[in-house]
Structure 1
Amino acid sequence: MKDETIKILDIVALLKDLPNEKLLRGQIGTVVERYSDTDFEVEFSDNNGKTIFMLTLNTGDIMLLHNELVSA
């Protein structure tokens, strides 16, 4: 079973639209700081690596993404 603990530099997806920040559900971000087991600073960037927005999100707002094959 894969460890679901979110860590710094993990890639996450946004689970809901954030219209005030102009971020859409499904956008990909990088965890740049871990404040607690449930709260993280996440950076969203464009295709050139330029930061679009950084904000604090909790585990209800993001989903950890995996890029390795694991058995279900």
Structure 2
Amino acid sequence: MKLYDVVELREPRPSEQLSAGAVGSVVDVFDGSPPVYEVEFADTDGRTVAMVTLRADQVVQRDGHI
């Protein structure tokens, strides 16, 4: 994955009030083994709801836009 890719959560994140299937955008990539991604989740008005650091196995990359 790379910056600005659209991703979908595979599993709920109750501590961030995000359900499985929530859609977000990759806003930072941390190289490492394995790499991790900072993903921003926003509401329909574009306000940030959560910023979460996730592994690749915790999200599914989606085609298209949020």
Judge which range, 34-43 or 57-66, deviates more: 34-43
**2:62 is the alignment partner of 1:59:** no
- By percentage of residues, which structure has more strand? 2
Cα drift, residue 60 of structure 1: 1.1
1:28-67 equivalences under 5 Å are: 28-36=23-31, 38-67=35-64
SS in 1 for 2:49: strand
TM-score, normalized by length of structure 1? 0.81
More helix by share: 2
% same residue: 34
* AA aligned opposite 1:56: T
Q: Indicate whether 1:10 and 2:5 are aligned.
A: yes
Q: For residues 33 and 57 of structure 1, what CA distance do their matches in structure 2 show?
A: 11
After the TM superposition, which parts of structure 1 deviate over 2 Å for at least 4 consecutive aligned residues? none
TM-score (norm 2): 0.88
CA-atom RMSD in angstroms: 1.0
Residue 55 of structure 1, CA deviation = 1.2
* 1:9-55 deviation per Cα after TM superposition (whole angstroms, max 9, x unaligned): 01000000011111000000000000026300000000000000001
Matched residues, number: 62
